[in-house]
Amino acid sequence: MNLVKLISGAVATIAMTVGSAHAAPLFNYDQGQGLSPGGTVAFDGTRLVGANIGFDLMNAAGTSSDGVFHCSTADGSVTLGTTRCRLSFTTGNLVSVTPSGPNTNTYVFGPGGEITLTGYLSTATPGNTAPIIGTTPLVVSGSFDAYTITLQAPPSGVGGTGVGAGLGFDFKDPMMLAYFGLAADTEFRFTTSQLAIGSCSATAAGFTCNVNNADFQNTVPEPGTLALLGLGLLAIGLLRWRAG
């Protein structure tokens, strides 16, 4: 089957389940006012490592305290583009590398690794100070089910671009969950469905790239929707890359 048709079919399937998925608690981390997240990803020959990918805000939906919350300092002050929540991760081990176009390879990583998102969330808006949510800087910790990154690089290996997508599970800080009316042991599913990379260069072991765009989404899925959500979000990332 044609890959684009396969991806389009997956996207159509996920669209039919979006209503039920949105009924569940959802946390969506993003950059404010189109700011670049910064940070890097690097393939060390075995795993993909992401470091210091920044987010300015988090939108909560389907909770007892829905709204937009901004990343802040420990005292709750917010400066857009400066006070950020930082995502870092290490995937599971490399499973395969498959050619997927001219000078293009798709890297598939298996389960395992770890993912953390640190920082403080405040009820303040940029330029202001307000109380933080909870008392600790730990926002999320978890592990991958799978990760895929597609990289297109010129023969020189310099200036490559690509897109990455991953999914897995995580647990939040109990005081953060209490603020949103959720149980302390609530397991979330995460997707990193909008990781766009550029300015890539080859290294002795693999490659390193800058992160140009990133989303980090959390949800507590309803029964039966998890597999469809993961497939749909991964497919969307690959489809957008092919379209670009």
Q: In the chain, what percentage of residues exceed pLDDT 70?
A: 80
Inside any domain, residue 77: no
- Tell me the average pLDDT across 37-56: 95
Phi-psi region of 39 (alpha: psi -120 to 50; beta: other; left: phi over 0): left
Supply the pLDDT for residue 39: 95
Supply the pLDDT for residue 193: 67
- Tell me the average pLDDT across 91-103: 93
Inside any domain, residue 81: no
Inside any domain, residue 153: yes
Inside any domain, residue 56: no
Q: Is the pTM of this model over 0.85?
A: no
Inside any domain, residue 60: no
The pLDDT-based confidence of 17 (bands split at 50, 70, 90) is: very low
Inside any domain, residue 228: yes
Q: Both tokens of residue 173?
A: 């800080």
Q: Degrees (nearest 5) of the Cα angle 37, 158, 114?
A: 45
What range does the domain containing 233 cover?
Answer: 3-25+36-50+87-116+137-243
Q: Both tokens of residue 163?
A: 């897109």
Supply the pLDDT for residue 234: 53
Q: Both tokens of residue 98?
A: 């498959």
Q: In the chain, what percentage of residues exceed pLDDT 90?
A: 63
Pair 173, 137: CB distance under 8 Å: no
Q: Both tokens of residue 58?
A: 């988090």
Inside any domain, residue 182: yes
Supply the pLDDT for residue 236: 43
The pLDDT-based confidence of 101 (bands split at 50, 70, 90) is: confident
DSSP the chain: --HHHHHHHHHHHHHHHHHHHHTS-EEEEE-GGG-----EEEE-SS-EEEEEEEE-EEEEESSTT-EEEEEE-TT-B--TTTS-EEEEEE---EEEEEEEETTEEEEEE-SEEEEEEE-EEESPPTT-B-PBSSSSSEEEEEEEEEEEEEEE--TTS-SEEEEEEEEEEEEE-HHHHHHTT--TTPEEEEEEEEEEEEEEEE-SSSEEEEEEE--EEEE-PPTT-HHHHHHHHHHHHHHHHHH-
Supply the pLDDT for residue 14: 40
- Tens digits of per-residue pLDDT, 145-156? 999 999 998 776
Q: Both tokens of residue 75?
A: 């005292």
Total structural domains in the chain? 1
- The residue count of the chain comes to 244
Smallest CA-to-CA distance from 24 within 66, 55, 56, 53 is with 66
Average pLDDT, the chain: 83
Smallest CA-to-CA distance from 190 within 68, 89, 46 is with 89
Q: Which of 80-89, 154-163, 188-197 has the lowest mean pLDDT?
A: 154-163
The pLDDT-based confidence of 103 (bands split at 50, 70, 90) is: confident
Inside any domain, residue 45: yes
